[in-house]
Structure 1
Amino acid sequence: MIDPETTAQLDDEARHILRANDKEGYTVPTKGLYPFQWNWDSALTALGIATYDANRAWQEIEKLLSAQWDNGMVPHIVFWQHEEGYFPGPGEWQSGQTPPTSGITQPPVAATVVRQLASSLPGDHGARVTPMLHALDRWHQWFADARDPDGRGVVAIMHPWESGRDNLPDWDEPLSHVDTSTVGTFLRRDTQIVNEAERPQNHDYDHYMALVQFGRNCQWDVKTIAETCPFWVAEPAMNAILRRAERDLVALALQFNLPEIARRATARLARLGQGFNQLWSDDAQGYVTLNLRHDKKDNRLTSGSWLSLYGGPENDNRAKAHYSTLMEWRRKISFTVPSFDPNDAAFDDIRYWRGPVWAMINWMIATGLAEHGRHDLAEMIANDTAALIAKSGFREYFSPVTGQGGGGKDFSWTAAMWLYWASPTARPKTETP
């Protein structure tokens, strides 16, 4: 357990980081490496901001949703200002939006965050929340229309970046079908800021940029993307997060007297609940990635597999399999929850998403575990997260083996997760509404 003096110091440092990364209305993930507003980073960061400035927390969500496209999509990057040399910038995306944005989305955590804020902050939030719910309803409907046009009950991603878990080994096989012959050369800024051993490799970036070019060439037309994008994958984390978001949107819509939104969200949630079973693997005893273009499962587990518990009620047999595997992984490493199976040859404890622990994923997993009655496992994950931060600071992610921090420093959502959940002063918030 972390002592009170260290806790107080880390609380102060976390608040300092969030204020330093504040760009007057939105928060950057970290200076230099990610100098714009990122979708799920921003929404999750609002939870931390809310612990000391309620109005500023609401502004974070309002700013993000203000960049919503006419078709309902909320983009994964909003380029509110010019940043010389950032790659890939607005010129590579060519989204045609004002302000410039990327052409893809990210996991829709915003509805869940809005519900958290509405339930935990004092006051009548109706005037502020109602416009958000209309925007969130349009975004969730975009997922149903653009990323599940056939009504299978699972939404697809058209780019690894859309998952928010950019460099998972899960993407290696689907990316092998992406032609990179026209990508050309480019200069990455990330490897000039962060150790190359902690970032995706160049051949990964070739595939990422080929998919950006594909989207740009079809002007981000959702019908063309759904029919012909070479990367079209359903994965458990995105789908579980969307299920959770729809549940929270239903609750919010009923709370703020918006029955039509509640009705639409309920219908979408039912479809997602039925479709999610397609991602279950008997071989892996967990939820796995499904390459929809080739109808092929990747029978390996990731930290996203446990988000089924966060997404909704899980049947007892599958839940028990989750608990058992989680403890089996924990015995092989020092800190939970690694982003990829530590038993697999592709596991890399410090390279981006191929093994490291991420604080916000840990919060989601712990939330799901607590809601399924496993407060002991939820507490273990919270303690591991706190120990990582106490050991290595507010890094982007951490090695589950050594506890070493990796990626960006002074990272907003790590600071936010500390203030909202991992800090000993925040533990009453482990359970959510």
Structure 2
Amino acid sequence: MQIQESLVPEAQQILQANDRGGFTVPTAGLYPFQWLWDAGFTALGWMQFDEARAWQELDLLFQGQWSNGMLPHIVFHRPEATYFPGPERWGVARTPPTSAITQPPVVASVVRWMLERARNPVLAEEKIRSLYPRILAYHRWFKRERDPHNTGLVTVLHPWETGADNSPAWDEALGRVTVDPDLPPYTRRDTSHVDPSQRPHQSEYDRFLTLLEVYKRAGFDQLRLVRECPFRVASLLIDCVLHRANRDLLWLSERFGFGDEAEIAGWLEASRQGIESLWDEGAGLYFNRDLRTGQPIRVGVSASFLPLFAGTASPERARRLLGTLEAWAGRVRYLVPSTDPSSPRFEAQRYWRGPVWAVVNYLIALGFSEYGYGEMAGRIRQDTLELCETAGFSEYFHPLTGQGLGGGSFSWTAAIYLAWSQSPHTPGAGGSL
């Protein structure tokens, strides 16, 4: 599919309109702060037309890094009243204020892609030398405080950390969280911006905020929470993105002579085995795992294809994944739905229970391309571009009708459009998409 050149300036204008002086909000009103994985993809979009601004995005993101290395999922650079829960509810005593959980760690991979695309390699190398030790500290935090027993799988302590907040994969694990009877009252802000039918249910929000109170009562002690938090899962989105990020961190260490290769290689061996332990031969799919019960969470989600992005899957398993996605494609108009469309839990327009997300499509397409399935990778790219061109740069999209859903003028959707418009090659893929 050919890019509509007229939409490239529009995508650039969305990033510029959402610029808040060095960081980019996902969209005005609904999400008025800087989010971790949004910032990574947004930087990739900025890279297509303003390299200095792209690197600034990451510099400001790391202003929120904790002294233990954790990179929080929200940095509250300035007060805003249109979002809940804000810094007062999180209660993190630092400047700038932040949340107390993380998100899919895309930064190392984005930094490598930015270096490979840089028209100003001197600036890129200077920025990488500054960013690398901070990214390394973040990845060490994951290993030390979220995988203390070296299982190769990260313990995720909140659905918001996974990036896929209300995925049906979390239904049972979240349902076991008893709502705090003393939960402080609150007023949601999201449903004043977006139709409630496209957002998580109130019962889920009560549990999301209960977990926030659990965090605060534990003093944000990660090792205690890994033992005691009522919500503990292994998330394919987190584990696969982290594995790929560690591959790219290893590449950066070798490229710049940082000397951390042995340590990172050890992480990779453990996480390769951990991710592959999530494979289900009968289903032809990878499943998330409930770490409280030790059982697989047997619902297919878009993240089930991300071991291809991670690069851990065998050729045989890659072929099975292709067949599984082809079956999904027979049930929807646009790939990749965030939940298996044959599942009774599939909801075509409710946030992470069915809609298509451009950023996840980008990662899945890269995985299929690298395993030699260029036709499927091309289909995912084509569907994503068509959705943007017919429904605008929406937060997410209806997989059956193509309707734009959630927030509008959305930064990371515009950024993915720019990334695929400026270069038809997915980074590192070696094949045209």
Establish whether TM, by shorter chain, passes 0.5: yes
Q: CA deviation at 1:283?
A: 3.4
Task: Tell me the equivalent position of 1:120.
Answer: 117
Q: Report the Cα distance in structure 1 between the residues aligned to 2:302 and 2:202, rounded to whole angstroms.
A: 24
Task: Tell me the equivalent position of 1:343.
Answer: 342
Q: Is the 8 A contact 1:355 1:400 kept in 2?
A: yes
Distance verdict in 2 for CA 1:134–1:281, change over 3 Å? same
Which digits, 9 at most, give the CA deviation of each residue in 1:82-113, with x for residues without a partner?
Answer: 01252101111112221100000000000000
Q: CA deviation at 1:287?
A: 1.0
**Does residue 49 of structure 2 align to residue 58 of structure 1?**
no
For normalisation by structure 1, the TM-score amounts to 0.96
Counterpart amino acid of residue 195 in structure 1: D
Q: CA deviation at 1:126?
A: 2.8
Q: Secondary structure at the match of 2:283?
A: coil
Aligned length: 427
1:105 pairs with one of 102, 107, 114: 102
Q: Secondary structure at the match of 2:176?
A: coil
Q: CA deviation at 1:183?
A: 2.1
Q: CA deviation at 1:428?
A: 3.2
Task: Tell me the equivalent position of 2:311.
Answer: 312
Task: Tell me the equivalent position of 1:326.
Answer: 325
Q: Is the 8 A contact 1:237 1:308 kept in 2?
A: no
Q: Secondary structure at the match of 2:296?
A: strand
Q: Is the 8 A contact 1:143 1:155 kept in 2?
A: yes
Q: Report the Cα distance in structure 1 between the residues aligned to 2:159 and 2:216, rounded to whole angstroms.
A: 16
Counterpart amino acid of residue 25 in structure 2: V
Which digits, 9 at most, give the CA deviation of each residue in 1:15-65, with x for residues without a partner?
Answer: 000000011111000000000000000111111100000111111111112
Counterpart amino acid of residue 229 in structure 2: C
Q: CA deviation at 1:429?
A: 4.0
Deviates more, 1:74-83 or 1:312-321: 312-321
Q: Report the Cα distance in structure 1 between the residues aligned to 2:283 and 2:215, rounded to whole angstroms.
A: 33
Task: Tell me the equivalent position of 1:387.
Answer: 386
Identity score, percent: 41
Counterpart amino acid of residue 227 in structure 2: E
Q: Report the Cα distance in structure 2 between the residues aligned to 1:190 and 1:417, rounded to whole angstroms.
A: 24
Task: Tell me the equivalent position of 1:366.
Answer: 365
Task: Tell me the equivalent position of 1:355.
Answer: 354
Q: CA deviation at 1:163?
A: 0.4
Counterpart amino acid of residue 154 in structure 1: L
Q: Secondary structure at the match of 1:156?
A: coil
Q: Report the Cα distance in structure 2 between the residues aligned to 1:184 and 1:222, rounded to whole angstroms.
A: 23
Task: Tell me the equivalent position of 2:142.
Answer: 143
Q: Report the Cα distance in structure 2 between the residues aligned to 1:99 and 1:132, rounded to whole angstroms.
A: 18
Which digits, 9 at most, give the CA deviation of each residue in 1:152-207, with x for residues without a partner?
Answer: 11002100000011110011100111110332431000001100000001001011
CA RMSD of aligned residues (A): 1.3
Q: Is the 8 A contact 2:35 2:75 kept in 1?
A: yes
Q: Is the 8 A contact 2:338 2:354 kept in 1?
A: yes
Q: How does 1:187-202 map onto structure 2 within 5 Å?
A: 187-202=187-202
Q: Secondary structure at the match of 1:290?
A: strand
Q: Is the 8 A contact 2:276 2:312 kept in 1?
A: no
Task: Tell me the equivalent position of 2:38.
Answer: 41
Q: How does 1:7-406 map onto structure 2 within 5 Å?
A: 7-122=4-119, 123-124=121-122, 125-180=124-179, 181-259=181-259, 261-406=260-405
Q: Report the Cα distance in structure 2 between the residues aligned to 1:307 and 1:386, rounded to whole angstroms.
A: 20
Distance verdict in 2 for CA 1:313–1:295, change over 3 Å? closer
Counterpart amino acid of residue 183 in structure 1: L
Q: Secondary structure at the match of 2:423?
A: helix
**Unaligned runs of at least 5 residues, structure 2:** none
Distance verdict in 2 for CA 1:250–1:345, change over 3 Å? same
Deviates more, 1:264-273 or 1:75-84: 264-273
Q: Report the Cα distance in structure 1 between the residues aligned to 2:79 and 2:197, rounded to whole angstroms.
A: 28
Deviates more, 1:284-293 or 1:333-342: 284-293
Q: Report the Cα distance in structure 1 between the residues aligned to 2:23 and 2:262, rounded to whole angstroms.
A: 31
Which digits, 9 at most, give the CA deviation of each residue in 1:263-284, with x for residues without a partner?
Answer: 2221111111121122112332
Q: Report the Cα distance in structure 1 between the residues aligned to 2:155 and 2:267, rounded to whole angstroms.
A: 15
Q: CA deviation at 1:227?
A: 1.0
Q: Is the 8 A contact 2:30 2:82 kept in 1?
A: no
Q: Is the 8 A contact 2:73 2:161 kept in 1?
A: yes
For normalisation by structure 2, the TM-score amounts to 0.96
Distance verdict in 2 for CA 1:169–1:429, change over 3 Å? closer
